[in-house]
Amino acid sequence: MTPRTRPAGAMALAAVLLAAATGCTDGTGPAGGAAAPEAPAGRPGASSRPAVPSAAPGAAPGAAGFTLVASGDVLPHDSIIRRAAEDAGGDGYDFTPMFSGVKSVVSQADLAVCHMETVYGKEGGPYTGYPAFKSPPEVAAALKATGYDSCSTASNHTLDDGAAGLGRTLDALDRAGVRHAGSARTEAEAARPTLLKAGGATVAQLAYTYDTNGYPMPEGQPWAVQLLDERKVIADARAARAAGADVVVVSVHWGSEWQTEPDERQLSLGRALTASQTGGRPDIDLILGTHAHVPQAYEKVNGTWIIYGMGDQIAGDMINHEGAFDPRGNQGSIGRFTFAPPRTTGGRWEVTKAEFIPQWFDTGRGRVVNLGAADGSDPRRTDVRDTIRQVVLSRGADKDGLVMGK
């Protein structure tokens, strides 16, 4: 979908909402159907985390490697909101059970990032799904309980409820203890990279979106949402490095919806961003893509891993551009990357292990399912897992060492 400008007057809102129909489909299935670096909160099950490399020869004394986990769009349609109300037993909304199937994967990572695609409504509602989303703020508490440390918040829906919705979302994430990148309440906040601690590294998360469904930036706030621009991303990455980041992670809301293969914009921008270097060191260490609603490939480009699209993590039954239910809209992957410290002072933190974990959102039960841990007894889950694996490896990532994890 190409960026659009917003017409004036009453016709504009109708046009924008219609445009949003091509931005995130309705999921109307049944309810059943430089800030100072901050260390992630203590994690349950930390003793069973995957082993990470310690300092390599020549690295800073005591430096430790780390694992980073990343997942796709959290997109609460009306059916998802109804399910959360049911899971709360009639007392508010509880999204925590939806994530339970992947909690062990998320909470055992040293650093876990998600993509919060929608904005939050006022306490008590009203809450809405497609086409202009206002989600219950209880989503933030569920993200924290699952083990997420930070979320990208730049998407085509970031301005669905203007500056007020943007502000409520970041306020709720702050209260829950979840960091965020990609949208901001103040100019100073927009100028600061989100810096996080993981192992012996300081990790910067930067986030951008291709568009805001035609909604203009709030008056006097051109910095409210970070828009995707090659030169800006590179400049921000270099600024994050100057602010102390050892590893720079870029979250991008991009691509063509319902298209399994990355489009030419993703491919060309991916090449440009991964080619950018300063002093012989890449400016960007990992690219995490969202928006397409379907799983897309992983690929190592210029020595840097790109996930073109992780697919939706939480979403209702998805309707594609042809108006038909499309099961791919509830399929996705979680990326897990193990980073080792540099071998020489000022060198790059290297990915020593790259994994994908196939996942599926069972709209009938309202639960995320870790397909990497599937035992093969359910043919339907096995078929979905194999479909996701085929897509993820479609650009030859297995030849660069990408493996399926559990």
Sign of CA dihedral 258, 264, 269, 275: positive
CA distance 78 to 362: 15
Domain boundaries, the chain: 56-404
Task: Label residue 28 by pLDDT band (50, 70, 90).
Answer: low
Structure tokens at 244: 């102390």
**Mean of pLDDT over the chain:** 89
Task: Label residue 396 by pLDDT band (50, 70, 90).
Answer: very high
Q: Which of 347, 234, 358, 345 is nearest to 294 (CA)?
A: 358
Calculate what percentage of the chain has a pLDDT beyond 70: 85
Would the pTM count as exceeding 0.85? yes
CA distance 391 to 292: 13
Task: Label residue 20 by pLDDT band (50, 70, 90).
Answer: very low
15 has pLDDT over 80: no
105 has pLDDT over 80: yes
In the block, tokens 């690929």 appear at: 299
Segment 216-249, tens digit of pLDDT: 999 999 999 999 999 999 999 999 999 999 999 9
Higher pLDDT, 277 or 26: 277
Segment 301-356, tens digit of pLDDT: 999 999 999 999 999 999 999 999 999 999 999 999 999 999 988 899 999 999 99
Per CATH, the architecture of 56-404 is what? 4-Layer Sandwich (3.60)
